[in-house]
């Protein structure tokens, strides 16, 4: 298949792969796992024609390792998986964050823990995406709610990873990954793509971890005359390991600040429904599609409901959620887990607004009735 153009009936996983290719990804390493394998299949089929490489690694540990390696060699790289594979990737995800390696990890979430329901949707890896790897660290995670958005958020994920030198996670789910919808594929030349900054100093003056004014170090590639020393051990600006008092504080602080001082570039939300509402739904991904339907259903019962949809999950949109909490009578958080992001909503709940959970843990797209039940409770 050559690159489809214009209006296409396409699966979410395919849209993800094409988004990556259009964003400039030329290396994919992965391990087959339901419900994400179609992303690997498109890459295996298409990347050679783009001068790229597909490799099927021996496990997901090796897959994320390989994309980190290829990114350091100068190529935009990504992998895709689901829960069990995402668990295996956690240690090296931390390596990527610590070494500041741009790359994209797609997690098409399914029901867990363990093997769970391998072909059914969930959104239960939200906290794992945030804190799954050990140690203090920032992360960026995006949550698409349609096939079209899968395409655009994948491109955005690459752009953010290049801009901030950090692995970016696409937190998809089985519904969005394997649903077919009409999408419009734009001319790739019309896309705004971000490339990592290259060093401007001569090789002999280059320090691979010396940040620029945005706290992000310009990045040379392996093979460049600018020598790169990338270490998973605590390191100073030279990249070499350094155990002096203060080095770790300085490094962890910069890694956090380079993201949290620039959240306005990262956070994206959508407001749906009336401005003033008795109940505000907060949701993301496939669940938020159901929420949009529920806004109309609630209106039929005379309840004014709106929706705050989070496209960016991490960093958490503190300000946007706090504002929504302050403007509404009650909040219902709709997610396909036993309550994960609701903890973050409560964390920023300065107005002490009542917060209810609509929890979809039945191995299918959350039913409108579950959300309606929570709305009725909220207005009781």
Partner 1 sequence: MAVKLSYREYFKEDALPLMWCSGCGNGILLRAITDSLADLQIPPHQVVVSTGIGCWGKADDYMKTHAFHGSHGRALAFGTGIKLGNPDLHVIALMGDGDALAIGGNHFIHSARRNIDITAVVSNNFNYGMTGGQYSPTTPLSSKTTTSPIGVAEPAFDVCGLSEQCGANYVARTTAYHVTQMKRMITAAIQKKGFSVVEVLNTCPTHFGRRNIAGDPVSVMQYLKDITVNKSRYEKMDEEEKAKYLVTGELVNKDRPDFLSVYRELNPAASETGRGESK
Where along the sequence are the contacts to partner 1 (CB under 8 A)?
3, 26-27, 29, 47-53, 55, 57-59, 61-62, 65-75, 77, 91-92, 95, 203, 221-233, 239-241
Nearest to partner 1 of 94, 285 (CB atom): 94
Nearest to partner 1 of 91, 297 (CB atom): 91
Contact 27, 53 (CB under 8 A): yes
Nearest approach, Cβ of residue 74 and partner 1 (Å): 6
Nearest to 47 by CA among 35, 61, 30: 30
Nearest approach, Cβ of residue 207 and partner 1 (Å): 14
Q: What is the largest CA-CA distance in the chain?
A: 70
Nearest approach, Cβ of residue 269 and partner 1 (Å): 34
- What's the rounded Cα separation, in Å, for the pair 50 and 347? 45
Nearest to partner 1 of 196, 304 (CB atom): 196
Q: Which residues contact 301 (CB under 8 A, 6 or more apart)?
A: 372, 376
Please state, as a whole number, how many other Cβ atoms lie within 10 Å of the Cβ of residue 225: 9
Nearest to partner 1 of 63, 328 (CB atom): 63
Nearest approach, Cβ of residue 97 and partner 1 (Å): 12
DSSP, res 206: -
Half-sphere exposure of 128 (CA within 13 A, CB side): 20
Nearest to partner 1 of 53, 263 (CB atom): 53
Nearest approach, Cβ of residue 60 and partner 1 (Å): 10
Nearest to partner 1 of 252, 361 (CB atom): 252
Q: Is 6 left (phi over 0), alpha (psi -120 to 50) or beta?
A: left
Annotate 43-54 with three-state secondary structure.
Answer: HHHHHHHHCCEE
Nearest approach, Cβ of residue 63 and partner 1 (Å): 8
State how beta strands 103-111 and 117-121 pair. Answer: antiparallel
Strand partners, 121: 110
Nearest approach, Cβ of residue 113 and partner 1 (Å): 23
Nearest to partner 1 of 79, 159 (CB atom): 79
């Amino acid at each position: 298949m050559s690159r489809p153009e214009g209006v296409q009936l396409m699966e979410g996983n395919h849209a993800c792969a094409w988004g990556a290719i259009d964003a400039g990804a030329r290396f994919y390493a992965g391990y087959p796992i339901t419900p994400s394998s179609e992303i690997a299949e498109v890459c295996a089929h298409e990347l050679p024609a783009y001068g790229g490489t597909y490799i099927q690694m021996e496990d997901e540990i090796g897959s994320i390792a390989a994309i980190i390696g290829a990114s350091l060699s100068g190529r935009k790289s990504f992998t895709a998986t689901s829960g069990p594979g995402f668990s295996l990737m956690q240690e090296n995800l931390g390596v990527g964050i610590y070494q500041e390696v741009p790359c994209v990890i797609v997690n098409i979430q399914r029901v867990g823990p363990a093997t769970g329901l391998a072909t059914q949707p969930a959104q239960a890896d939200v906290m794992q995406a945030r804190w799954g790897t050990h140690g203090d660290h920032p992360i960026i995670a995006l949550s698409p709610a349609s096939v079209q958005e899968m395409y655009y958020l994948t491109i955005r994920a690459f752009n953010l990873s290049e801009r901030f030198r950090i692995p970016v996670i696409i937190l998809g789910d089985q519904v969005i990954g394997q649903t077919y919808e009409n999408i419009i594929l734009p001319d790739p030349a019309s896309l705004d793509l971000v490339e990592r900054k290259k060093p401007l100093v001569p090789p002999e003056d280059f320090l691979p971890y010396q940040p620029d004014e945005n706290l992000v170090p310009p990045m040379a590639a392996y093979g460049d005359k600018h020598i790169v020393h990338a270490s998973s051990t605590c390191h100073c600006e030279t990249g070499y390991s350094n155990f002096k008092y203060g080095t770790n504080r300085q490094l962890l602080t910069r890694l956090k600040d380079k993201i949290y001082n620039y959240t306005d570039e990262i956070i994206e939300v959508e407001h749906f429904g009336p401005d003033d509402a008795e109940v505000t739904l907060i949701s993301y991904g496939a669940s938020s599609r159901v929420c949009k339907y529920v806004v109309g259903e609630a209106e039929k019962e005379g309840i004014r409901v709106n929706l705050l949809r989070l496209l960016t999950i991490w960093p958490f949109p503190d300000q946007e959620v706090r504002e929504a909490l302050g403007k509404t009578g009650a909040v219902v958080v709709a997610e396909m887990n036993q309550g994960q992001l609701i903890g973050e909503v409560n964390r920023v709940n300065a107005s002490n607004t009542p917060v209810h959970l609509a929890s979809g843990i039945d191995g299918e797209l959350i039913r409108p009735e579950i959300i309606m039940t929570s709305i009725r409770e909220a207005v009781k």
